[in-house]
Structure 1
Amino acid sequence: MIGPHLRELRRERNLTLKQLAERTGLSTGLLSQVERSIHDPSLETLRRLARTLEVPLFSLFAGEDRQQVAVVRRDRRMTVSSPHGGISYTRISPGSGRLELLEGCLEPGAASTDRPWSHPSEECVLAQTGELLVEVGETVIRLAPGDSCYFDSRTPHRFVNPGADANTFLVSVTPPSY
């Protein structure tokens, strides 16, 4: 599902596989395999591609039609995970609007990214189960279930699970970003 759409986005930007590889730091072989649907890209690979192609991460998945009213059934939600484990995101919103709602699940001791990163959006995160640390710049916010915080995503940030059990959280992002 990603491969043909990725190829289309790359071609719309008049990029060769080699040029896209150079801009993302990924290998041409990997990109070729993703475009031919031979390899499923990791969350980090998707982030690099989305940032380079300047599209929201979940827009890399084809088949999204903008609808006035959209229903996303639980069993039809799209999920992406880190290749190293630790984090997964399930898209709750349909992905065709100006707001993205994701449910995150962090394994014990895991972080959403190795290093805090930024993107041109705003976010609001709501801890659902377990404790969640939200690192925004030099600030660390400790959230208990039911607590939330809002921040400007242009400040490098990430989410960390300091607990011994997996935790879940909701995060809304506007506009959807990479």
Structure 2
Amino acid sequence: MAEDFETGEISEDIGTRLKLVRQIFGLTQRELARRAGVTNGAISLIEQNRVSPSISSLRKILDGIPLSMADFFTLNFSPSEEVFFTAESLPDIASDPAMSWRMIGAKMKERALLMLKETYEPGADTGDAMLRHEGEECGIVISGTIIVTVGMQERQLGPGDAYYFRSDIPHRFRNPGPEPCVLVSAATPASF
């Protein structure tokens, strides 16, 4: 079977894009070639941008994924916002000096998730008036201990212990220990 590929000037984007899409779908070059009915070498040459497939050949290859031509060309591989954050860049949104709530992705538009690195100094307490808001919360203790009260339930958690609850249930966090407690938490929706 003759394959329909052109050599010469090509869009650098097609080979790179095909490789990324193939990897996202967890396919080897060999597996994609088998599914598409083309040679492994053809996939390799396209991904190296050494040949450019015709529209019909590209459609045949994408059918092996399966992925439409429109989706292939419109998938966005470049995040439009910041992805990585240094420890120093995380703003502290806690209002109590005995606590630190370092927020990840604070400047991201339309965040659906609130992610925090929380530190509770010995004796720190979110207060007698229990917290309550829309959504869900979860977290895992990294170091130290924390007492988490959720409704009528209360538990002291240590390193590796975790929690997950609906946030409309009244809740509270207290550090009874002699050392700071560090935990990583997430909540939806992003209320801060």
Normalising by structure 1, report the TM-score: 0.57
How many Å apart are 1:70 and its aligned residue? 2.2
Residue pair 1:99, 1:172 contacting (<8 A) in 2 also:
yes
For 1:89, the aligned partner's letter is W
Q: Quote the residue 2:87 is aligned against.
A: 74
Matches of 2:147 and 2:163 in 1, distance apart? 11
Matches of 1:141 and 1:93 in 2, distance apart? 30
1:172 aligns with 2:186: yes
Give the number of the structure whose alpha-carbon radius of gyration is greater.
Answer: 2
1:89 aligns with 2:105: no
Change (3 A) 1:91 1:148: same
Matches of 1:68 and 1:92 in 2, distance apart? 13
Which has the higher relative contact order, 1 or 2, with Cα contacts under 8 A spaced 6 or more apart?
1
How many Å apart are 1:92 and its aligned residue? 2.1
Between the aligned residues of both structures, percent identity stands at 31
Matches of 1:88 and 1:68 in 2, distance apart? 25
How many Å apart are 1:138 and its aligned residue? 1.1
Residue pair 1:93, 1:102 contacting (<8 A) in 2 also:
no
Normalising by structure 2, report the TM-score: 0.53
Residue pair 1:129, 1:168 contacting (<8 A) in 2 also:
yes
How many Å apart are 1:107 and its aligned residue? 1.1
Which stretches in structure 2 are left out of the alignment for 5+ residues? 1-78
Compute the RMSD of aligned alpha carbons.
1.9
**SS of the counterpart of 2:88?**
helix
Matches of 1:69 and 1:82 in 2, distance apart? 26
Residue pair 1:109, 1:163 contacting (<8 A) in 2 also:
yes
Q: Quote the residue 2:61 is aligned against.
A: none
How many Å apart are 1:69 and its aligned residue? 5.7
Change (3 A) 1:156 1:67: farther
1:103 aligns with 2:111: no
Structure 1 residue runs of 4 or more that deviate by more than 3 Å after TM superposition: 66-69, 93-96
